[in-house]
Amino acid sequence: MPLLPSSLYGLARPFLFGFDPEHAHELTLDGLARTQNTPLACAYAAPRVDDPVTLAGLEFPNRVGLAAGLDKNARCIDAFAAMGFGFVEVGTVTPKAQPGNPKPRMFRLPQRDALINRLGFNNEGLDAFLANVQKARFRRSGSGGRKPMLLGLNIGKNAATPIEKAVDDYLACLDGVYPHADYVTINISSPNTANLRTLQSDEALDALLGAIAERRHALAERSHRRVPLFVKIAPDLDEGQVAVIAATLQRHGMDGVIATNTTLARDAVAGLPHANEAGGLSGAPVREASNRVVSQLRAALGPAFPIIGVGGILSAADARAKIAAGADVVQIYTGLIYRGPALVREAAQALLQGRSAA
Ligand SMILES: Cc1cc2nc3c(=O)[nH]c(=O)nc-3n(C[C@H](O)[C@H](O)[C@H](O)COP(=O)(O)O)c2cc1C
């Protein structure tokens, strides 16, 4: 992961890529955590592009966000705010701390601007996550009266929790994150937690979202604040499955959908080193499938339902294509690894220009 802006990232990348991917990631996050809110943050800070859009009742300062999984423990929120993101999603957090899968579990496929990971929700658990979220200062900094960036908190289940009891984990996380989130993401699409994706299917999704909607209602009554709920889905779904999911989201009053997570497909990387590693593939090779799911969702959900598009954005043109496919706003993860923080401003500016051209 990048620590330096624009052209400097071109110099930092070979250094970071000299390390095993997970080690490079940890080094970078440590660097960001140490330097955020200090003068050293100027090494990666960039002015935020002003391109406000209202979605699910929230004002997004611009249309480029950080995707979940990069900052699983919410340690670097202020550093990412400084990079100019309009919104940042941290997590996935689970109720209890867990180590994730055995290492190595993260692989680069640089020939295709791609990663494969099977991290398996390694994280420090809900309490540590919330302590970090509460330490973040981005909401206080209010630069020149500008609206702060939005914060999404992404929740999941522990590996040790049987899938029949998954709802208990989601509810425990929802209770914890609710007061601190601008929106909450229900992640049911990681390929690296056994059976998690079965929660996307018909009855399981119906039961899960029913329970979550009921709990949100209670939390909203108590706090007088209705926090939007987004559901994050996989790219490995056919049109019929996407249509059923779309109807289920609307039936339970969900506020948006995030499409997509990583893919299990390997056709786009066949024959390359690491292509056969188990896990989720991200970056350029997932772009087409993600865009397909986004456009199927748009067709099924109609023009007003919020869609956050993610998967394979490596350039400004990719960000525009995601919007053209039907997304309202976009997120990036793998693009940040390959392109560095300059991609944030580049993409946000391209979307702003696309809007004025439209
Ligand atoms: C190393 C890695 C870890 C990830 N962890 C999570 C996670 O914890 N929760 C989640 O919802 N998505 C996670 N994702 C998925 C990303 O948020 C994103 O949906 C996916 O990578 C596609 O976007 P991209 O092509 O821009 O990377 C992870 C992705 C990567 C590469």
Q: Return the CATH architecture of domain 6-357.
A: Alpha-Beta Barrel (3.20)
- Cross-strand bridge partners of residue 154: 91, 185
Of the listed 190, 282, 290, 295, which one is catalytic? 190
Mutate to test the pocket of ligand 1, among 261, 263, 315, 339 (most ligand atoms within 8 A of CB): 261
Interatomic CA distance for residues 336 and 14, integer angstroms: 14
DSSP assignment letter at 218: H
Closest C-alpha residue for ligand 1 atom 5: 69
Catalytic annotation present for 190: yes
Closest C-alpha residue for ligand 1 atom 14: 69
List C-alpha distances in Å: 247 to 231, 242, 251: 13, 9, 6
Distance 346 CA to ligand 1 centre (A): 21
Contact 282, 333 (CB under 8 A): yes
Domain edges within the chain: 6-357
Closest C-alpha residue for ligand 1 atom 29: 69
CA max distance for the chain: 55
Q: Residue 333 is encoded by which pair of tokens?
A: 């993860």
- Cross-strand bridge partners of residue 123: 98
pTM of the model: 0.97
How confident is the prediction along the chain (358 residues), in pLDDT tens digits per residue? 444 455 678 888 998 998 999 999 999 999 999 999 999 999 899 999 999 999 999 999 999 999 999 999 999 999 999 999 999 999 999 999 999 999 999 999 999 999 999 999 999 999 999 999 999 999 986 556 678 999 999 999 999 999 999 999 999 999 999 999 999 999 998 898 878 888 878 888 999 999 999 999 999 999 999 999 999 999 999 999 999 999 999 999 999 999 999 999 999 999 999 999 999 999 999 999 999 999 999 999 999 999 999 999 999 999 999 999 999 999 999 999 999 999 999 999 999 998 777 6
Torsion angles phi and psi, residue 281, rounded to 5 = -95, 135
Contact 107, 272 (CB under 8 A): no
The binding site for substrate consists of 72, 117-121, 187, 192, 261-262
Strand, coil or helix: 24:
helix
